[in-house]
Amino acid sequence: MVVERDLLISLLKLTKNGGVTHESVYRDARVPSSVGLKLLQKLQNANLVYLNDGAIDVDSNSRLQLGVRAVELGADVERVSDFLDWQEFEAITALALEQNGYRVAKNVRFKHAGRRWEIDVVGCRKPLVVCVDCKHWRHGISPSVLAKIVTAQADRVEALADFLPGMSVKVECTNWDRAKFVPVILSLVPSRFKFYDNVPVVPVLQLQDFLSQLPAYLDSLKCFFKEFRHL
């Protein structure tokens, strides 16, 4: 288990900027090539890496899964997080939303009430507007810190609902008669809290399940409502 964890960490570190060779991963993880190859083949069978003539390729979705697997095997969350960037969180979030029928906008920026705001990912599927804040937080987040994160995201989402249909933001929901805006926090690993102040805190690998189940428990979540008047 320790050997697999170390190899996963080396993969995350070395594939941050693209593909790498088998030998560089074995050397960084300090594992024998025979053991390393068996682990890489295991990962390839799980569709997490792609092996070709001594080279290894890993896509953003797989890198996230490798990171979660490393944490499950005892790797330090802070160390794993250092090898993942927020764009990878955004990419997998957008993909999950699109696969569930949402029209997606990333890095939605707007100015409202004298402030500048930004929401990482906004997904629209009538009548829902799911607004996701992709968080790279460290191990052992406290309730007080989580409260600040949730409050900040709720404020952003409320501001977006109030701002639309602003000319500077192009999102699908402005074509509807009404919309329900849902703030969501996305994390690398599970938090002690699945919800905080009725805002869902969703581990990235559970995002697909969350989106598929969202309509069933929508009434219990914090939401902001907006009616659009069309001339």
- pLDDT of 87 reads 77
Residue 138 pLDDT greater than 60, yes or no: no
Q: What is the mean pLDDT of residues 159-185?
A: 93
Angstrom distance (rounded) from CA 138 to CA 121:
21
- Residue 189 — φ and ψ, nearest 5°? -130, 165
Q: Are 53 and 164 in contact (CB under 8 A)?
A: no
Q: What is the mean pLDDT of the chain?
A: 89
Q: What is the mean pLDDT of residues 82-104?
A: 84
Residue 67 pLDDT greater than 90, yes or no: no
Torsion angle, alpha carbons of 24, 138, 185, 222, to 10: 170
Exposed, middle or buried by CB within 10 Å (0-12, 13-18, 19+), for 180? middle
> Could you give the domains of the chain?
2-82 (1.10.10.10), 86-227 (3.40.1350)
- pLDDT of 90 reads 82
Model confidence at 69, in pLDDT bands (50, 70, 90)?
confident
Quote the distance between the C-alpha of residue 6 and its chain's center: 23
Angstrom distance (rounded) from CA 186 to CA 89:
8
- pLDDT of 197 reads 94
Regarding pTM above 0.85, the answer is: no
Length of the chain: 231
Question: 23 to each of 4, 20, 90, 92, 132, how far by Cα in Å?
Answer: 15, 9, 31, 29, 38
The percentage of the chain sitting over the pLDDT mark of 90, rounded to a whole number, equals: 60
Q: Are 224 and 161 in contact (CB under 8 A)?
A: yes
Angstrom distance (rounded) from CA 207 to CA 61:
12
Model pLDDT for residues 77-86, shown as the tens digit of each residue: 667 877 877 7
Q: What is the mean pLDDT of residues 195-206?
A: 90
The half-sphere exposure of 104 on its side-chain side, counting CA atoms within 13 A, is: 18
Model pLDDT for residues 17-65, shown as the tens digit of each residue: 888 999 999 999 999 999 999 999 999 999 999 998 889 998 877 888 8
